[in-house]
Structures are given as structure tokens and as C-alpha cells.
């Protein structure tokens, strides 16, 4: 065995706390470099595609290295800046670099190990090996015809989820063997093209072909059509011909595939394949960039000026002030300098409107990146930015949700973080539990890019950064074209109920304004941040409430499918006809969601066209876009939605917005509840009256004196922020303190309690009164896992790196106790 002279430290796509060193065989020495994917064996048999982080000459002292099996890439797919970014994510959010690798790379670029089952061909007579069960015989007989088989294929013909027990018996008796092979999940999409065979070089050659085909008129017709469509000029070999696909030739000539196949066999045509993209470019009518108003121009100048001193600028503009137009001007200036732009959005729901606006101005240099794209499509976008698709013009503008911060930018000039206050920028599960807004600030610093954060309702963290001069501030206090801010009307639900004026879930004020709006051929948005028909059902006799079998939550009633559904794990059951506790048939629904609003509003306005926009109606790839387009084209009169309808959507004809249950937002047990409630109500209010006359917002509430509701009525963000910051400082919450939430999980409740106590006791020895808990969260069991939380509050100036070392040490100590080795621990830095 030859000794290696060179070694590579690689990142494996696993939750492991370190890099692993592999030997570089001599034949790979010259082209094994950082950023390339390599195939390595980890453990006894498993193969993985890993990423080379470092190449060096230092042989590990404490273990014998395995060799890299093969190198996948000809060029690195990860840059040094990306690695630095990943390492910051791993350190700050207290996860492993392998977990960042798994999150950052599209699945199509992560090659997977696939287990193959082989029949032992050395065995001639299986009868000598004793009796086999019926299922073992099925496996053996199938392997005789198809050798090897994937485990998934064996599971399929056995019609069961797992065949591992049966396979283990066959492996122990050496009837079958197991082998791991690397499987590439991404396949290049190609299309078949037709061209004239290279042997046909002159007009005489072509004439001879026609003579030979004299008894095949269809083939002659096909050849003539090919010459016409391709604009072939055989007398001038340097003339350019139009490439034509086999499919297009068949379509244009209305002939059969067999005619083409015959001409290929006769060496008249040649068939070749070309890689084509899955993401098709559209023919676009490019528009000019709109001119800006005086207020917008002033804001743009201030942003440019601030970028000279600050890399980070907050554009604090009221709803409908025209922030997007300012973004577009900055984007144009950036790409004119030859740099790239990342335009971050918090939700897929917003992208369709923005995509159309940007593509109509910048054309097909705008790329889109989000989870509704297939793995293969995301690989193509990655390759395009990484300059691996040379035929297609590279994307200069990427519009994406949080995962787009991981794309392989090499010349980033501007990052726009639209609706920067949104909680959906935070990744919850799995790790890394990063906030894309905060990560983008680090990315911008690594790439030396300017960063513009835009919103009408800044997060308190961002507002605080302005106050301490970490971010520059540019304000835009008037709506575009001087349109008035919407009139906000409070509708007292408590008073309406007392006077028995409520019509189902609607106050007379809201119904009157909806009717007036529809009579004027204008549109309405109704907001309720809860999907389904009703949050739960309840027995009127014994108060029994149907609950999820796997989670500590009540089941939400969905009337359209007549089922009770858990919104945490997906468990569902048919709607019961009676109480399963006492047997009484008097079950009632309690509360209301978007589905109930949809049903009820149709009873009051039967002629109106009503649609719903929530998680249940937007599961398809283009479902968001269809609903938004239909509403834009006034195919919908009343749009009912969750917070999806609050985020940056621009509709010309919306006159009334109804917030049906403001109290549901305010009375949530969370230190951010008032901030979030203000943001949601202001944002959804901003959808009203964006063009033409002033809009109206009807807020239904039982607490008209609530200070947050009063702030919304006055559009007083500064007053709200000032009061909330005083509270945050007094009670040691962000932005003055950093929060780290540690969640201890196990399917045994007693184990969770004991393990959480051990870990908390250790942490209290170091962090003292900064540690709160452990406590069970409001929902303490999800998907059969019990949970207990420990919260650590750390001063902002304290080192997160030092805190990480202490926390990891504490978790390691607790897990070293055999009884708690199976406990799961989630660390969430800056939870929201």
C-alpha cells in the first residue's frame, strides 16, 4: 500500500462537529482543490459526496486515513468566500458545518449513497441452504432475473415499508451481498437535434441522395423540408444553419418518427443531443425604468450618499410609498457596473408580482430561486450563477427567499432585503436555524456589497441599529402620487355583541363597507391569521375537544374535506358525528379561520366572486401566481387570506381591508406579540387605497383602547417602538440581549424532564441568573416528541463563541450519561 503525500480535509453532509481527513491518491494530486466534490467512504460501507475544504501535507496522528475514491467536479462549485460564510453560520447559529452544507447545496448536487442487493452467484443449489420463507424466496427469484436490486425495489414487490429484517437473514446466510454505490440525483436535460450527415458535403452528394430516395416520397419531402427550415446552403459551408430539433421537424412536416429514423439509418441525417435548461426564458417586451417622484428621488440620493459611509441602509417608507421603484433604480445602477444583485423576499407569495416587474425591465437576466422549484431547476440556477452554463446568459439579478443567500455569488454589488421585519426570514427546522436577514448582512460584508433593508414597519432590532448609528436611515413618509393613507376604523366587537348586532363573525360596520365597495365595482381583502374552518371543535355537554394523537394541540376543523387536521404533524381524522368522551351529538365549532370566513361571506354577498389565499390553497407550484393574477385582473372581488396577503402585494382596485380578529394577534404569550401585531395590521392595512381615492381599513376588536391598536390608527411606529424598547431593556430581551433557546427532546417525558434539569443546572453554574427554565413550552409535544426549553439571555457585547463552547460542553456532559444518550438537543440562536 502506497503512502499518501497529500491530504484533504473534507466536509461531510452530516451533523458532525469536525472535518475529516482523507488521503489524496497520486493520480488526483494535481486537481484535488478546495471547493470540489469528492466521493469518500465514511464508516464501514457508506459512500458520500463530500466537499474539499483544505489540501495539505499533514497526516493525522490518531487514525489511518482512507483515500478519496473519486473527484466529481472539474471546477470548484464552492468559493472561499462561501466557505467563510458557512463557517460564520455554523459558529453563530451553533450547528455543524455539515448541517450548513446540507442546507446550502441544492439536493441535485448532493450525491447519495444507494444500497444495492446482489445475489451470491457462487451458489449453485439453494436447497442445501435449508428452508426459505415465502418472502425470502420472492427476493431470491427476483434477483435471479434482475441482479442487483435496490432496497426500494425489494420493498415495492414485497409490498411493505421495510425489508431489512428479511435481508439481514439472507445476508447472514451469505445468500445475498450488499454494496454501496453513489447515485447522482441530478440529470442534465437534453433534447434531440437533427442535422445533415457530415459525409454530405457538396451539391452533387445531395443530388445522389435524392436519386437514391426516388422510391421514398415521404423521405424526400422530409429532406426538402429540413433544407428549407434549417436554411441549409451546401455551396457555402461557412454559412450558418438554423438548428432544428427532432420534435420540431416532426411537427413542421407532419410526418412520423420512422421516416427520420430511416434517413438516419441511410446516413442522410445524424442525430445529436444538446443540453437544454428546464427554466424556459420568455419573450419579453422590455420596458424603460419609470421616472421617480420628487420624494423618491430625494430618498434615492440619500441612499447613494449613505452608501459611501455605511454599507447598511434602512429605507423606512410607508406602505405604497414606491420603495420598489427605488430598488429598481439601484438594481440598474449596480448591474451597469457589472455586478450582481440579490433581492431577498420573505415569502414565495410575493415573488410573482415582483418577478413580472423586474423581468419586464431587465429581461431574462433575472433568476428566481425558491423551494417550489424542482431540485433539477435549482441546480441549473446554481450552475448559471457559478458560470457553468455558458450558452445561457448568466443571471445578474437573483430574486429569492432565504435559501438564496447560499448561492455561489462571485461579484455581488447589492443586497436588497425587502420587508426586512418579516419573521419568515428565520429558518426554524432543521439546522442551521439562521435568520436570512442577519446572514445577508454578513454575506454583504464578505462580498463588499451594499445592503438596503426596506420596510414600512422595521423590526425593533433594525430600528435599534439605526439608533446606535450602525445602520443609516432614509425615510419616505408619503405615499406615491400623494395618495392619502387609508382611513382606519375601529369596529367594537364587544359592543356589537352586547347590542346583538353581530352578523355571524362580521360587525355591521364591516359588512356595510364591503357592500359599498362591491357596489362601486371595487375589491376587498379580508385578513385572518388562522387557516381552516375552525380552530377546534368542542362538546357542549362535557367540553371534550378532539386532540392530535402525536402532538399536544387541538385538531383544526376543515369543513371542505370534513376532517380534523393537525397543523403540526399532518395527522387527520374524519369529523366525528358525536363526542368520543360522553357520546352526546352536540358538538360545536369554536372560533373561525379563513375557510369559515369564505363560507360565511358568500352567504352575505352571493353574487361576489370570492377566493381564499392560505397554506391550503397555495400548495401547487404556480398557485400563488394564479390567485394573485386573478385578483389583479378582477376575476376575484373578495380575497380572504392569512398573512400571505399582508406582504408587499400591490393591487390597484382594493378599497377596503378588513382585519377580522385583531385580539387574536395581540393576546399571544410572546415578548414580540405587540411588535408583530403592529407590523401585521399596518402591512395588511397598506393594501388598501394604493391608487385613486383613499382606502378604508376596518379593524374588528374587543379592545379598542389597546395601545398597539391606537398606534396602528395613528400610524405611530416611533411611539410603538419607543415603548417596546423600554420594556425590552427592562426585561432583558432583544435588541439589548441575545437569546439562545435550547430545546431538549425525547419520546419519554420523564427522560426529557431529567435531562433538561441536568443541562440547566450545568449552564446555571456558568451563566447564573441568565438561564431561565427548563420549562415546558405552550405546545410541549409535537410528532410524539416531548420538549422542554431552556432560555439563556446573554448581553450583546458578550462573545457568542465563548457561549457556544460552554453550551456544547454542557450538552456533551449530559449526553455522556448513558441514560440520556438518545436525547435530542436543538439550539436556536435569536429565536423568534
Opening angle at CA 718, ends 715 and 724, nearest 5 = 110
Query: Tens of pLDDT along 208-255?
Result: 889 888 888 888 888 888 888 888 887 776 777 888 888 888 888 878
What pLDDT does residue 335 have?
95
Query: Tens of pLDDT along 23-55?
Result: 999 999 998 999 999 989 888 778 888 999 999
Give residue 386's domain range.
294-476
Average pLDDT, the chain: 89
Domain match, 629 and 500 both: yes
Angle between helices 217-230 and 246-253 (to 10 degrees): 120
Confidence of residue 756 (pLDDT cuts 50, 70, 90): very high
Average pLDDT over residues 422-451: 95
Rounded-to-integer distance, Cα 396 and Cα 502, Å: 54
Domain match, 667 and 705 both: yes
Write the CA distances from 324 to 37, 232, 300, 317, 664, integer angstroms.
Answer: 39, 48, 11, 10, 31
Contact yes or no for 647/525 (Cβ under 8 A): no
Opening angle at CA 684, ends 683 and 687, nearest 5 = 100
What pLDDT does residue 141 have?
85
* Greater model confidence, 761 or 109: 761
| Residue 491 in this model has a pLDDT that exceeds 90 | yes
Rounded-to-integer distance, Cα 544 and Cα 401, Å: 41
| Residue 677 in this model has a pLDDT that exceeds 90 | yes
* Greater model confidence, 362 or 691: 362
* DSSP line for 619-653: -STTHHHHHHHHHHTTS-SEEEESGGGGSS---TT
Confidence of residue 2 (pLDDT cuts 50, 70, 90): low
Average pLDDT over residues 488-499: 95
Decide if 285 is inside a domain.
Answer: no
Decide if 581 is inside a domain.
Answer: no
Decide if 753 is inside a domain.
Answer: yes
| Residue 349 in this model has a pLDDT that exceeds 70 | no
Decide if 574 is inside a domain.
Answer: no
Class of residue 417 by CB neighbours under 10 A (exposed 0-12, middle 13-18, buried 19+): buried
What pLDDT does residue 1 have?
44
Q: Which residue has the cell 356589537?
A: 496
Give the CATH number of the domain where residue 143 resides.
Answer: 1.10.10.10
Q: Which of 77, 111, 145 is the last residue of a domain?
A: 111
Joined together, the cell numbers standing for residue 182 give: 453513489
Contact yes or no for 220/213 (Cβ under 8 A): yes
What pLDDT does residue 320 have?
86
**pTM attached to this predicted model:** 0.81
Domain match, 101 and 130 both: no
Q: 1: which residues sit within 8 A by CB, 6+ positions away?
A: none
Average pLDDT over residues 313-334: 94
Instruction: Put the strands of the sheet holding 20-23 in their side by side order.
Output: 20-23, 7-11, 46-56, 37-42, 70-71
Rounded-to-integer distance, Cα 596 and Cα 598, Å: 5
Average pLDDT over residues 498-522: 96
Q: 435: which residues sit within 8 A by CB, 6+ positions away?
A: 425, 426, 427, 830, 832
* Greater model confidence, 371 or 805: 805
Decide if 569 is inside a domain.
Answer: no
Decide if 797 is inside a domain.
Answer: yes
Q: Going by DSSP bridges, is the β-strand pair 696-701/487-492 parallel, antiparallel, or unpaired?
A: parallel
Decide if 420 is inside a domain.
Answer: yes
Query: Tens of pLDDT along 69-91?
Result: 989 888 899 999 999 999 999 99
Average pLDDT over residues 100-104: 94
Q: What ranges make up the beta strands (E) of 293-382?
A: 312-317, 340-344, 366-369
| Residue 176 in this model has a pLDDT that exceeds 90 | no
* Closest-CA residue to 104 (of 409, 412, 346): 409
- HSE-CB at 494 with a 13 A cutoff on CA atoms is 7
* DSSP line for 287-315: -PPPPPPHHHHHHHHHHHHHHTT-SEEEE
Rounded-to-integer distance, Cα 500 and Cα 496, Å: 6
| Residue 389 in this model has a pLDDT that exceeds 60 | no
| Residue 753 in this model has a pLDDT that exceeds 60 | yes
* Greater model confidence, 823 or 691: 823
Average pLDDT over residues 451-469: 97
Opening angle at CA 439, ends 625 and 298, nearest 5 = 70
Question: Residue 683's Cα: distance from chain center in Å?
Answer: 22
What pLDDT does residue 62 have?
81
| Residue 660 in this model has a pLDDT that exceeds 80 | yes
Domain match, 244 and 325 both: no
Contact yes or no for 751/721 (Cβ under 8 A): no
Joined together, the cell numbers standing for residue 799 give: 462573545
> What are residue 659's DSSP bridge partners?
527, 699
What pLDDT does residue 173 have?
81
What pLDDT does residue 285 have?
61
What pLDDT does residue 490 have?
96
Domain match, 448 and 317 both: yes
Domain match, 611 and 703 both: yes
Domain match, 147 and 35 both: no
Q: Going by DSSP bridges, is the β-strand pair 654-659/696-701 parallel, antiparallel, or unpaired?
A: parallel
Decide if 674 is inside a domain.
Answer: yes
Contact yes or no for 526/658 (Cβ under 8 A): yes
Q: How many CB atoms lie within 10 A of CB 335?
A: 17
* Overall domain count for the chain: 6
Domain match, 105 and 119 both: no
Best mean pLDDT range from 351-365, 457-471, 638-652: 457-471
Q: Which of 153, 183, 213 is the last residue of a domain?
A: 183
Q: Which of 476, 510, 525 is the last residue of a domain?
A: 476
Question: Residue 145's Cα: distance from chain center in Å?
Answer: 42
* DSSP line for 488-499: EEEEEHHHHHHT
Domain match, 623 and 651 both: yes
Q: How many CB atoms lie within 10 A of CB 303?
A: 21
Domain match, 315 and 423 both: yes
> What are residue 420's DSSP bridge partners?
none
Q: How many CB atoms lie within 10 A of CB 51?
A: 31
Rounded-to-integer distance, Cα 660 and Cα 489, Å: 12
| Residue 739 in this model has a pLDDT that exceeds 90 | yes
Average pLDDT over residues 587-594: 92
Q: 137: which residues sit within 8 A by CB, 6+ positions away?
A: none
Domain match, 142 and 216 both: no
Average pLDDT over residues 591-599: 93
What pLDDT does residue 218 have?
86
What pLDDT does residue 514 have?
97
Domain match, 324 and 433 both: yes
Amino acid at each position: 500500500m502506497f503512502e499518501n503525500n497529500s491530504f484533504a480535509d473534507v466536509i461531510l453532509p452530516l451533523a458532525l462537529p469536525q472535518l475529516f481527513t482523507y488521503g489524496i491518491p497520486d493520480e488526483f494530486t494535481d486537481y484535488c482543490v478546495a471547493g470540489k466534490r469528492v466521493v469518500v467512504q465514511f464508516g464501514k460501507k457508506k459512500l458520500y459526496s463530500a466537499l474539499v475544504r483544505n489540501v495539505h501535507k499533514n497526516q493525522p496522528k490518531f487514525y489511518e486515513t482512507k483515500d478519496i475514491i473519486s473527484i466529481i467536479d472539474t471546477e470548484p462549485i464552492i468559493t472561499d468566500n462561501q466557505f467563510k460564510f458557512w463557517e460564520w453560520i455554523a459558529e453563530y447559529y451553533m450547528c455543524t458545518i455539515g448541517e450548513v452544507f446540507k442546507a446550502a447545496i441544492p439536493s441535485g448536487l448532493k450525491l447519495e449513497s444507494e444500497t444495492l442487493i446482489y445475489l451470491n452467484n457462487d451458489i449453485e443449489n439453494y436447497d442445501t441452504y435449508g428452508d426459505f420463507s415465502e418472502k425470502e424466496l420472492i427476493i431470491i427469484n427476483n434477483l435471479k432475473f434482475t441482479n442487483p436490486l435496490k432496497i426500494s425495489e425489494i420493498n415495492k414487490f414485497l409490498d411493505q415499508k421495510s425489508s431489512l429484517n428479511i435481508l439481514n437473514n439472507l445476508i447472514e446466510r451469505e445468500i445475498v451481498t450488499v454494496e454501496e454505490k453513489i447515485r447522482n440525483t441530478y440529470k442534465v436535460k437534453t433534447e434531440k437535434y437533427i442535422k445533415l450527415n457530415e459525409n454530405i458535403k457538396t451539391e452533387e452528394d445531395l443530388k445522389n441522395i435524392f436519386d437514391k430516395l426516388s422510391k421514398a416520397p415521404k423521405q424526400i419531402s422530409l429532406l426538402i423540408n429540413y433544407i428549407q427550415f434549417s436554411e441549409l446552403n451546401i455551396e457555402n459551408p461557412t454559412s450558418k444553419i438554423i438548428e432544428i430539433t427532432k420534435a420540431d421537424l416532426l411537427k413542421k412536416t407532419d410526418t412520423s418518427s420512422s421516416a427520420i429514423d430511416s434517413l438516419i439509418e441511410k446516413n442522410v441525417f445524424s442525430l445529436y443531443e444538446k443540453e437544454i435548461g428546464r427554466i424556459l426564458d420568455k419573450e419579453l417586451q422590455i420596458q424603460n425604468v419609470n421616472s421617480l417622484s420628487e420624494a423618491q428621488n430625494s430618498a434615492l440620493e440619500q441612499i447613494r450618499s449613505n452608501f459611501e459611509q455605511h454599507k447598511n441602509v434602512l429605507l423606512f417608507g410607508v406602505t405604497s410609498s414606491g420603495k420598489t421603484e427605488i430598488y429598481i433604480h439601484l438594481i440598474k445602477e449596480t448591474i451597469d457596473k457589472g455586478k450582481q444583485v440579490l433581492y431577498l423576499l420573505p415569502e414565495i407569495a410575493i415573488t410573482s408580482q415582483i418577478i413580472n416587474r423586474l423581468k419586464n425591465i431587465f429581461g431574462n437576466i433575472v433568476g428566481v430561486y425558491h423551494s417550489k422549484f424542482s431540485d433539477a431547476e435549482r441546480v441549473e440556477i446554481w450552475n448559471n450563477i457559478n458560470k457553468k452554463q455558458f450558452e445561457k446568459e448568466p443571471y445578474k439579478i437573483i430574486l429569492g427567499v432565504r435559501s438564496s443567500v447560499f448561492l455561489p455569488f462571485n461579484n455581488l454589488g447589492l443586497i436588497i432585503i425587502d420587508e426586512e421585519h418579516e419573521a419568515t426570514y428565520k429558518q426554524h427546522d432543521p439546522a442551521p436555524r439562521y435568520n436570512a436577514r442577519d446572514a445577508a448582512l454578513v454575506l454583504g460584508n464578505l462580498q463588499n456589497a451594499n445592503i438596503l433593508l426596506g420596510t414600512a414597519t422595521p423590526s425593533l432590532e433594525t430600528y435599534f441599529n439605526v439608533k446606535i448609528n450602525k445602520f443609516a436611515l432614509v425615510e419616505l413618509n408619503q405615499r406615491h402620487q400623494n395618495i392619502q393613507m387609508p382611513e382606519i376604523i375601529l369596529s367594537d366587537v364587544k359592543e356589537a355583541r352586547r347590542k346583538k348586532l353581530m352578523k355571524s363573525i362580521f360587525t355591521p360596520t364591516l359588512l356595510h363597507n364591503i357592500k359599498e365597495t362591491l357596489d362601486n365595482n371595487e375589491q376587498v381583502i379580508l385578513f385572518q391569521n388562522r387557516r381552516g374552518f375552525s380552530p377546534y371543535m368542542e362538546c357542549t355537554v362535557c367540553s371534550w375537544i378532539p386532540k392530535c394523537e402525536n402532538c399536544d394541540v387541538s385538531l383544526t376543523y376543515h369543513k371542505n374535506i370534513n376532517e380534523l387536521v393537525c397543523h403540526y404533524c399532518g395527522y387527520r381524522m374524519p369529523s366525528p358525528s358525536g363526542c368520543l368522551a360522553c357520546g352526546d351529538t352536540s358538538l360545536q365549532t369554536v372560533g373561525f379561520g379563513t375557510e369559515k370566513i369564505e363560507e360565511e361571506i358568500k352567504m352575505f354577498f352571493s353574487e361576489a366572486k370570492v377566493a381564499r389565499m392560505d397554506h391550503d390553497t397555495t400548495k401547487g407550484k404556480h398557485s400563488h401566481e394564479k390567485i394573485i393574477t386573478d385578483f389583479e385582473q378582477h376575476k376575484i372581488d373578495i380575497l380572504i387570506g392569512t398573512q400571505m396577503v399582508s406582504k408587499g402585494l400591490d393591487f390597484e382596485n382594493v378599497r377596503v381591508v378588513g382585519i377580522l380578529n385583531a385580539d387574536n394577534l395581540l393576546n399571544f404569550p410572546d415578548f414580540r406579540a405587540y411588535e408583530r401585531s403592529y407590523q401585521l395590521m399596518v402591512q395588511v392595512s397598506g393594501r388598501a387605497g394604493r391608487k385613486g381615492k383613499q382606502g378604508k381599513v376596518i379593524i374588528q376588536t374587543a379592545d379598542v383602547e389597546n395601545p398597539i391598536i391606537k398606534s396602528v390608527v395613528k400610524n405611530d411606529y416611533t411611539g410603538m417602538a419607543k415603548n417596546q424598547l423600554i420594556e425590552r431593556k427592562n426585561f432583558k430581551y432583544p435588541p439589548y440581549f441575545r437569546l439562545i433557546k435550547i430545546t431538549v427532546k425525547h419520546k419519554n417525558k420523564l427522560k426529557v424532564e431529567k435531562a433538561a434539569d441536568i443541562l440547566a443546572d450545568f449552564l446555571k453554574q456558568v451563566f447564573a441568573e441568565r438561564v431561565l427554565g427548563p420549562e415546558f413550552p405552550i405546545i410541549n409535544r409535537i410528532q410524539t416528541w416531548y420538549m422542554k426549553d431552556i432560555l439563556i439571555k446573554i448581553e450583546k457585547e458578550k462573545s457568542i463563541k465563548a457561549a457556544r463552547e460552554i453550551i456544547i460542553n454542557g450538552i456533551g456532559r449530559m449526553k455522556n450519561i448513558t441514560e440520556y444518550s438518545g436525547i435530542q438537543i436543538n439550539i436556536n440562536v435569536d429565536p423568534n
